[in-house]
Structure 1
Amino acid sequence: MLSIQDGERETMTMDPKSRWEKERQEGKNQRIQAILEAAKSVFLQKGIEKATMQDIAREAHIGIATVFRHFPKKDKLIVAVVTQMVESQIPVFEAIADGEGSCIQKVEQLLDLFISYTQEEHSFNTKLLEAFESYQSLMPEPLEDIGVYEEVSHKIIMFYSRIFEEGRRDGSIRPDLPVHETLSTISNNFGTYAKKLSAQRNVLLPHMETEPEQQLLILKQIFLQYLRP
């Protein structure tokens, strides 16, 4: 990986045309990132459906023509935002899949990861993903570029599959259970419930006497006890 000094030295040794192209690309990447960050903020403040491209341009302090140059449709921008959010989580799932421990230990780490998403510092992304899933479900046609989002999501699914496959071999999961189907069901439902609780953490719910994190910890122990031989 190049250090800042190495990057500057590399730029200085380039011919003028290559240096101009590199700086142009870096400027483009910075503008795109600024648009994505602004879109995340506006989507959360106003809701994905009500947010406009003008709102996003204003939040990013750039002209609306620049926003449209990079994202000709709002749906493309929506998908780009959530794709980047999901992509940023790939190293976390990869670390669990490649780490030490049995299948059930890695499943516990996955459940702990979902629990961590209910904490305040993660609530921004969790709420936006929840809003995206709701928005997407109401669309009569698939969102443009949704294939890019699905491709990134599939990478995480493959880490799940690797963990679940270990459960067929290492004896840490009850042998009478259909391992992949059971672990997929638990992970999907636990993750969905964790997102719901995170999205509702600042909403007054009189019936919720137990804190979200405590509910998930109890549910985690129920699932793990069910899975153990």
Structure 2
Amino acid sequence: MSGGMREKKKNARYKSIVKTAEQLFLENGLDAVQMQDVADADGIGIATLFRYFPKKERLIVAVAVSCLEKIVEDFQRIVTANSSAYDRLEQVLDYLMGHPTEKEEVWKSARFREAFESYASFAKKSLDGIEEYIETQKVIALILMKIIEDGKVDGSIRKDIPVKEAIITIVNAYGTFGNNISLKSAISYLEEDIAIHIQQRMLKEILLSYLRP
């Protein structure tokens, strides 16, 4: 087998392991899933799994990075669309909403990111490979800077506010709220509670109204 074919096969196996692990983590939780569970589900030996991921936390980080990379691809598509900066920002927030019945993969990724960030925050030391996750977050921030610069030019976003700080704050706040509210969707609400999608829509309107000229 040529070197190129071996590398292609190796990359395919890596992606398969990460996808399998993500499914197991979502179904059972980060703590409950063991490396042997991942190996069995992916149809490989435990020794093969450890060659790719020497310890479980490295696999967890790899899944987290994979989730962020999906966002990078979708944000790049949104940011390069032929519309005003304000409209593109609204599309970003709609994307982050990720309703489970309409955008199942987005919603699942949001669920995992929420679990991962909680897991990482309670870790006694920095997770192995966390730098890659942080770098991917930076890539997302750079993509969003395109909206900021375009908003200054097309006038669709106020110029009398610190636009960079405002947009980053809005995206972070909305993303965190969206993750939390989606995670609670399986919990029984009282009759008088407000539906999740209504809360999301109202928050989006509140945040975007701050940016309108």
Q: TM-score, normalised by structure 2?
A: 0.90
Q: Measure the CA separation in 2 of the matches of 1:140 and 1:185.
A: 28
Q: Which residue of 2 aligns with 1:215?
A: 199
Q: CA deviation at 1:60?
A: 1.2
Indicate conservation of the 8 Å contact 1:44/1:124, yes or no.
Answer: yes
Map Cα deviations across residues 40-63 of structure 1 (whole Å, 9 max, x no partner): 122122211232111111211211
Which structure 1 segments of 5+ residues have no match?
1-18
The reply to whether residue 180 of structure 1 matches residue 180 of structure 2 is no
Q: CA deviation at 1:208?
A: 7.0
Q: Which amino acid aligns with 1:213?
A: H
Q: 1:22 to 1:219 in 2, by over 3 A?
A: same
- What is the root-mean-square deviation of aligned Cα atoms in Å? 1.8
Q: Which amino acid aligns with 1:135?
A: Y
Q: Which residue of 2 aligns with 1:189?
A: 173
Q: Which amino acid aligns with 1:100?
A: N
Q: How many residues align?
A: 210
The reply to whether residue 67 of structure 1 matches residue 34 of structure 2 is no
Indicate conservation of the 8 Å contact 1:118/1:194, yes or no.
Answer: no
Q: Measure the CA separation in 2 of the matches of 1:111 and 1:124.
A: 16
Q: Measure the CA separation in 1 of the matches of 2:153 and 2:84.
A: 10
- Largest Rg, 1 or 2: 1
The reply to whether residue 46 of structure 1 matches residue 24 of structure 2 is no
Match of 1:27 among 2, 5, 9: 9
Q: CA deviation at 1:83?
A: 0.8
Q: Which amino acid aligns with 1:118?
A: H
Q: Which amino acid aligns with 1:154?
A: K
Map Cα deviations across residues 129-149 of structure 1 (whole Å, 9 max, x no partner): 110010000012111111111
Q: Which residue of 1 aligns with 2:99?
A: 118
Q: 1:169 to 1:26 in 2, by over 3 A?
A: closer
Q: Which amino acid aligns with 1:210?
A: I
Q: Which residue of 2 aligns with 1:100?
A: 82
Q: Which amino acid aligns with 2:197?
A: E
Q: Measure the CA separation in 1 of the matches of 2:165 and 2:16.
A: 41
Q: CA deviation at 1:207?
A: 7.3
Q: Measure the CA separation in 1 of the matches of 2:20 and 2:88.
A: 35
Indicate conservation of the 8 Å contact 1:49/1:135, yes or no.
Answer: no
Q: Which residue of 1 aligns with 2:140?
A: 156
Q: CA deviation at 1:168?
A: 2.8
Q: Which residue of 2 aligns with 1:171?
A: 155
